[in-house]
């Protein structure tokens, strides 16, 4: 897994880096500036981004921009602005943690991001599988329609024809349907 830690302070980076390493098997990249973080984020896909104070831009704005990716973003925020910032950025998917930093809280936030990323990946895989199935159904339906128009089959006969061909040729119904489409479509 890939992590980007953004902090203007090397001391804060070291503290955050130690917690992130304990929380998961992350390859960690360090950026001292917001501009550097944005450039780094365009160059590489990250699973986790932790944003601390930087001098070249507001940390909350940086976290919000970085949250437009698939990465889980944690913003380390001053106590005075914590609640308002957390409310405002939660809609963008940014998890806000109050400073001064407590290692246990950050550890929990990092493992929460990791668990959330795993669930999102699972849902994306399910979604891709469902999209493929839907695409398969559309292709098979188009092939059935062609068989109905060109050979005079009814829908049941067209369906049975495709199933029979798939079994006999040991191909998927999608492959049979694609062959039918190639044969009959102009």
Render pLDDT for 98-115 as a digit per residue (tens, 0 to 9): 888 888 999 999 889 888
- Kindly state the average pLDDT of the residues 13-28: 89
Number of domains in the chain: 2
Whether residue 84 lies inside any domain: the answer is yes
Q: Are residues 87 and 29 in the same domain?
A: yes
Q: What is the CATH number of the domain that holds 19?
A: 3.40.50.2300
SS3 assignment, position 20: helix
N-term to C-term CA, the chain: 48
Do 135 and 95 lie in a common domain? Answer: no
Query: Residue 179 has what pLDDT?
Result: 94
Instruction: Read off the pLDDT of each residue in 129-150 and give the average, rounded to a whole number.
Output: 95
Judgement on whether residues 88 and 140 belong to the same structural domain of the protein: no
**Same domain assignment for residues 81 and 145:** no
**Is the whole-model pTM more than 0.85?**
no
Q: Which domain holds residue 167?
A: 129-184
CB of 159 closer than 8 Å to CB of 144: yes
Average pLDDT of span 82-88: 91
| Average predicted confidence (pLDDT) for the chain | 91
- Going by pLDDT thresholds of 50, 70 and 90, the confidence category of residue 121 is confident
Q: Are 15 and 100 in contact (CB under 8 A)?
A: no
């Amino acid at each position: 897994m890939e992590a980007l830690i953004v902090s203007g302070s090397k001391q804060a980076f070291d503290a955050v880096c130690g917690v992130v390493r304990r929380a998961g098997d992350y390859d960690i990249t360090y950026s001292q500036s917001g501009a550097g973080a944005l450039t780094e984020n365009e160059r590489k896909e990250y699973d986790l981004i932790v944003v601390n104070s930087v001098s070249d831009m507001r940390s909350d704005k940086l976290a919000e921009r970085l949250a437009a990716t698939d990465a889980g973003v944690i913003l380390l925020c001053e106590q005075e602005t914590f609640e308002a910032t957390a409310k405002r950025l939660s809609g963008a998917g940014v998890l806000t943690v109050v400073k001064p930093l407590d290692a246990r809280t950050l550890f929990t936030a990092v493992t929460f991001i990791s668990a959330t990323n795993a669930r999102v990946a699972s849902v994306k895989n399910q979604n891709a599988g469902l999209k493929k199935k839907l695409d398969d159904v559309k292709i098979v339906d188009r092939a059935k329609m062609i068989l109905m128009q060109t050979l005079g089959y009814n829908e049941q006969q067209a369906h049975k024809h495709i199933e029979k061909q798939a079994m006999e040729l040991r191909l998927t119904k999608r492959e049979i349907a694609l062959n039918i489409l190639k044969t009959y479509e102009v």
